[in-house]
Structure 1
Amino acid sequence: MDDWIDVEPFGTEPIVSIPLSRAPLLRVLAQARWQDLVLMRADFASVAQRVGLSLAADYPLGAQNKEVEVTFGPEGFNAVDGGVVHQFISADENWRVYFAANFVTFETKVYTSSQDFLSRFQHVLEKVREAIDIPQVTRVGFRYVNRVDQAIDIAELEDLVRPSMVGAPTGLVQPHAEIAQSINQVVYETQGGQLIAKWALLPAGATHDPSLEPSANKSWTLDLDSFSDGKVAFDPPTLAREAGRLSEMAYRFFRWTVTKKFVERFGG
């Protein structure tokens, strides 16, 4: 790691991805979202069946659940049921496609490289296009969720990530009190889209997102969600390239957050 170079979170200089053999990734997702379509409203069940049959060779397992929208208000987290979401799952259950009336999301917990992931995402989009004509999308997104949940303390974390990204903002850290839980969120706007950065220091059994299983240990989470809005044609290669650009935006912020010791600890 003698060639370690600090990067700017929204810089333009090229950076080389450093593979981590023990990357603390909980999940990686890419999504394409579109406006309401007449055919979806008229017969979504039939459309979902065609999509499932188109994907069946690679994603033979199926499931169905309700979309849940999570909001946060004075009374805490509030989950509201939405529309039906169909899941199409690989035989080893490591890869999942979520298909709803206005989006398709691709997810894995065994991420190895952006090239592999984006190739699979493009394949999913092509299969969706075979099943239904979607004229355009309104949003493309990419999300990395990282979690360190081994035995950790504040001092150790500050060797692995920037101290400002460990827990509470600097002004709230007090010498005679321990931070038991801290959840922070910043939304950045750039010319290339938006990035939502969430980082959380949590006790055992807690999670910053109800869709994520809590850790049995004290944990630190970095959740990076990058996306771009704007109407573009539903063209799988174009959408996969845009997801790749957004993944680079999130990865750059990740590289800015972590230290050389973090990369070495997790197999870089």
Structure 2
Amino acid sequence: MDTAERGALFEHELVDVPLTEAPLARVIGQLRFGTLSVLASDDGAAQSFIKALAEEYPYVEQGLEQALFFAPGQPVKPTDVGKVWRLRSANQQSVVALTNGALTLETASYPGRRAFCGELARLAGLLQTITRVPSYNRVAVRYSNRLVGEETLEQLPKLVHSELLGLVGAPLANGVRLAYTLSQALLEVGDGAKLLAQFGRLPESSTFDASLPAVPEPSWVLDLDSYEEYPDPRAALPAREDSVSAAANVCAERAHTFFRWAVTKEFLSHFGGEV
């Protein structure tokens, strides 16, 4: 299917095709907010949040966030910038992270778009009840897809459209091997809405993002970070659960639209979709 048959990117939403063997390595949902005095003063509010989630997320870790500072000719210096509380589900597949500035939900076991966004909204509603956070200045949903296996990677030109291949599949002279290729594109979709797409082939034991563990074999990744920012506090995202759910679903649908535009019918069939 060529570009003309697929239509322009984001021209219309494509039909969802559930994949029983989806190559999702992780899904992340995040809400950012301004620094709150109730979280800065002591750990009381954070402990209330942890206690309220104890049944679904019984394991907790407390640490410090770190920021990395780069200077020409100088080693990278990590600097502690604040506390972070990480709550893990009983099956260790999902993590809720809270800092004084962000609420994050990450899972390696994706339950579907509506359920995932609904859980992020529920967490936001609980945080609002405890901290009285008035609004959020950024909402994001990020999907990290990773294809592995020699047989799958050999079929890559049939699984994804040419815009996503780069040099993958290009004829190479004897003795030449494509070891690494990674492309990045930032798409602006209306006022404040953006989608950052990263895609390419990685060698074994490597990753493009320090937060995504490497795998011991070559892989091809498609990472889609769909987000919306609200720089004007007067037009920020209300902290209400229904508002968060709606905004997160829009971000997730935007990422899905790009994903369906990027992959072929062969991809859908290869990973268990009925097409």
When the two structures are superposed, what TM-score results if normalisation uses the length of structure 2?
0.86
Residue aligned with 1:185, SS: strand
Q: Please name the residue that 2:266 is paired with.
A: 261
Distance 1:153 1:113, change over 3 A: closer
What letter corresponds to residue 221 of structure 1 in structure 2? V
**Aligned residue for 1:217?**
217
Q: How does 1:32-71 map to 2 (within 5 A)?
A: 32-43=31-42, 45-69=43-67
1:237 corresponds, among 237, 242, 245, to 242
The unaligned stretches of length 5 or more in structure 2 are: 231-235
Q: Distance in 2 between matches of 1:248 and 1:79?
A: 38
Q: Residue 64 of structure 2 aligns to which amino acid in structure 1?
A: K
Alignment partners' CA distance in 1, 2:61 and 2:102:
16
Q: In the TM superposition, what is the alpha-carbon distance from 1:60 to its structure 2 partner?
A: 1.3
| CA distance 1:262–1:153, shift in 2 (3 Å) | closer
Aligned equivalents of 2:52, 2:216: Cα separation in 1: 38
**Deviation digits for residues 151-190 of structure 1, max 9, x if unmatched?**
15765211111233124499xx673332211121111111
CA distance in 2, matches of 1:74, 1:244: 41
Deviation at 1:122, TM superposition (A): 1.8
Q: Which residue of 1 aligns with 2:123?
A: 124
Match in the other structure for 1:160 = 159
SS at match of 1:121: helix
Question: 2:93 maps to what in 1?
Answer: 94
Question: Where do residues 4-19 of structure 1 align in structure 2 (5 Å cutoff)?
Answer: 6=6, 8-11=8-11, 13-19=12-18
When residues 71 and 108 of structure 1 are mapped into structure 2, their CA distance, relative to the original with a 3 A threshold, is farther
Give the letter for the 2:32 counterpart.
R
Deviations 1:24-61 (A, max 9, x none): 00111111101122222222x22211110121121111
Q: Which residue of 1 aligns with 2:23?
A: 24
Structure 2 contact 168–178 (Cα < 8 Å) conserved: no
Shift in Å at residue 91 of structure 1?
1.0
Contact preservation (8 Å) 2:125, 2:239: no
**What amino acid is aligned across from residue 272 of structure 2 in structure 1?**
G
Letter of the structure 2 residue corresponding to residue 98 of structure 1: A
Report the secondary structure of 2:50's partner residue.
helix
Alignment of 1:75-86 (within 5 A): 80-81=78-79, 82-86=81-85
Residue range with higher mean Cα deviation, 88-97 or 241-250: 88-97
| C-alpha distance in 2 between matches for 1:80 and 1:163 | 39
Supply the distance in 1 between the matched residues of 2:72 and 2:21 (Cα, whole angstroms): 38
Percent of aligned positions with the same letter in both sequences? Answer: 29
Distance 1:137 1:115 in 2: 20
Name the CA distance, whole Å, in 2 between partners of 1:137 and 1:111.
24
CA–CA separation in structure 2 for the residues paired with 1:251 and 1:238: 20
SS at match of 1:57: coil
Q: How far is 1:197 from its partner?
A: 0.3
What's the TM-score, normalizing by structure 1? 0.88
Q: Distance in 1 between matches of 2:27 and 2:18?
A: 15
**Are 1:25 and 1:144, in contact at CA under 8 Å, matched by a contact in 2?**
yes
Counterpart of 2:172 in structure 1 is 175
Structure 1 distance, partners of 2:63, 2:165, is 35
For residues 151 and 103 of structure 2, the distance between their equivalents in structure 1, rounded to whole angstroms, comes to: 36
Whether contact under 8 Å (1:200, 1:208) holds in the other structure is: no
Cα 1:94–1:191 change in 2 (3 A) is: same
Amino acid at match of 1:219: S
Residues paired across the two proteins, number: 259
Alpha-carbon shift at residue 72 of structure 1 (Å): 8.2
Query: Residue 107 of structure 1: CA displacement?
Result: 1.2
Query: Is the Cα–Cα contact under 8 Å of residues 201 and 219 in structure 1 kept in the other structure?
Result: yes
